[in-house]
């Protein structure tokens, strides 16, 4: 989901920092590496790809290994744009991609209080943690 703003982020895929953090948290919880390993920026098939599509693939990788998502908790760190008006739609898109209930997805946002490169609006950051459950055969 795009949030209208005069500036954007650069990346090999669509550069959705939040979805990348969530994908990495899920892969890490399952000890399945990271998104750079599964979707390398050296592979042209991932150029410009929607991070929601990558999240779908991560969900499928987890399922193949016998895992289900219990919950995802995430934090965006940015000065602008203000994301609060968009959080419900973002949560819904993530829940849909992971095929989980909306109550299993949390997104919070904060600023860096004008400090450092994040405070100077030179980028944004996202952190995520995920709880997954393994189903034994």
**pLDDT attached to residue 44:** 77
- For residue 22, give the nearest of 101, 88, 107, 92 by alpha carbon: 107
With respect to residue 11, please indicate whether it lies within any of the assigned structural domains. Answer: no
Percent of the chain with pLDDT over 90: 58
CB 93 within 8 A of CB 103: no
With respect to residue 49, please indicate whether it lies within any of the assigned structural domains. Answer: yes
**pLDDT attached to residue 13:** 55
pLDDT digits 0-9 by tens, 101-118:
999 999 999 997 777 877
State the average pLDDT over residues 125-134.
96
With respect to residue 2, please indicate whether it lies within any of the assigned structural domains. Answer: no
Number of domains observed in the structure of the chain = 1
Q: From CA 58, how far away is CA 55, in angstroms rounded?
A: 5
* Domain at 62, CATH number: 3.30.1330.50
With respect to residue 7, please indicate whether it lies within any of the assigned structural domains. Answer: no
Is the pLDDT confidence value at 12 over 70?
A: no
With respect to residue 9, please indicate whether it lies within any of the assigned structural domains. Answer: no
Domain housing 113:
17-134
With respect to residue 8, please indicate whether it lies within any of the assigned structural domains. Answer: no
3-state secondary structure of 131: strand
**pLDDT attached to residue 128:** 98
With respect to residue 21, please indicate whether it lies within any of the assigned structural domains. Answer: yes
Who has greater pLDDT, 95 or 121?
95
pLDDT digits 0-9 by tens, 79-100:
877 888 899 999 999 999 999 9
């Amino acid at each position: 989901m795009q949030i209208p703003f005069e500036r954007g982020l650069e990346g090999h895929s669509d550069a959705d920092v939040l979805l990348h953090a969530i994908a990495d948290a899920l892969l890490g919880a399952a000890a399945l590496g990271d998104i750079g390993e599964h979707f390398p920026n050296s592979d042209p098939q991932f150029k410009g790809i929607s991070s929601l599509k990558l999240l779908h693939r991560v969900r499928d990788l987890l399922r193949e290994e016998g895992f289900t998502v219990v919950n995802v908790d995430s934090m965006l760190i940015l000065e602008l744009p203000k994301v609060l008006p968009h959080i419900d739609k973002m949560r819904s898109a993530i829940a849909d991609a992971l095929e989980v209930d909306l109550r299993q997805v949390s997104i919070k946002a904060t600023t860096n209080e004008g400090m450092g490169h994040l405070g100077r609006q030179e980028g944004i950051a996202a952190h995520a943690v995920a709880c997954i459950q393994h189903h034994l055969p």
